[in-house]
Amino acid sequence: MSILITIEGGDGSGKSTQARLLSQALIDKGHKVTALREPGGTNLGENLREILNDNQQQHTNLTDLSQLYLFLAARAQLVTERISPILAEPNNVVVCDRYIDSTVAYQGYGVGFDIDFIKQANHYVIGNSKPNLTILIDCPINIALSRTMSRTEKTSRFETKPNEYHERVRKGFIKLANDNHDRWRIIDGTLDKKTLSKQILSLALDVINAPNSNIN
């Protein structure tokens, strides 16, 4: 059996950093780890990532509905090319920076598209490639957005949205986590990076080392 761990959180929560740290920590412990990100992980996905983030402001007219379907397209390609084949082999761990729940939080709770429709679309896209563990790095909006503003690279289209949008996304993530305690764990994103990474590693190892995981 192989394991899929997804790291979720709003912009500026530190999830990408923690996804990298978790992947490396698991590799150091001898696990076979594949680190992926959404959108991305395939040629199509990386091209769609540039369009969706729009750091160069070349796709400012992209509609919210178009964004939703582009995220789903990138995910379908990632599952088909990478995630599903890896999970089909034994003793693998996949760590994915964002996955199905980001679309529910951002395009569902954030933008206002029908939640059930997005969940159904996600179900169709991923098939059996469901997360075994989803870690939500929760961070107050004012702290998270101050982190994004301090970055040297240009901000994405999502980072520049109003605070009210980010609050809806954050509440959406929390609701998703509270509705499914079996899969989700919530971590305090205001903790220092080292403490945060230790907690996340511990949660990941609990799932990997569970009796039914069969990961050596």
Q: Look at residue 153 in the predicted model and tell me its pLDDT.
A: 62
- Residue range 3-208 forms a domain whose CATH class is alpha beta
* pLDDT tens digits for range 66-100: 999 999 999 999 999 999 999 999 999 999 999 99
Answer whether residue 123 shows pLDDT above 60: yes
* Higher per-residue pLDDT: 85 or 211: 85
* pLDDT tens digits for range 130-187: 999 999 999 999 998 888 877 656 667 787 889 999 999 999 999 999 999 999 999 9
CA dist 38 and 40 (Å) reads 5
Answer whether residue 46 shows pLDDT above 80: yes
Answer whether residue 63 shows pLDDT above 70: yes
Q: Look at residue 165 in the predicted model and tell me its pLDDT.
A: 95
Radius of gyration for the alpha carbons in the chain, expressed in angstroms and rounded: 16
Residue 171: both structure tokens together: 């509440």
C-alpha distance from residue 111 to each of 19, 89, 118, 159, 213 (Å): 26, 37, 12, 14, 37
Residue 28 buriedness (CB in 10 A; 0-12 / 13-18 / 19+): exposed
Residues 94, 87 contacting (CB under 8 angstroms) = yes
Q: Look at residue 134 in the predicted model and tell me its pLDDT.
A: 98
Name the 3-class secondary structure at 133: strand
Q: Look at residue 59 in the predicted model and tell me its pLDDT.
A: 66
Q: Look at residue 56 in the predicted model and tell me its pLDDT.
A: 65
Q: Look at residue 149 in the predicted model and tell me its pLDDT.
A: 75
Residues 158, 11 contacting (CB under 8 angstroms) = yes
Beta-carbon contacts of residue 162 (< 8 Å; ≥ 6 apart): none
Residues 81, 51 contacting (CB under 8 angstroms) = no
**Nearest to residue 15, comparing CAs of 122, 116, 134?**
134
Query: Does an H or E element contain 44, and which?
Result: helix 43-53
**Nearest to residue 186, comparing CAs of 201, 198, 173, 195?**
173
Name the 3-class secondary structure at 212: coil
pTM above 0.85, yes or no: yes
Spell out the domain ranges in the chain. 3-208
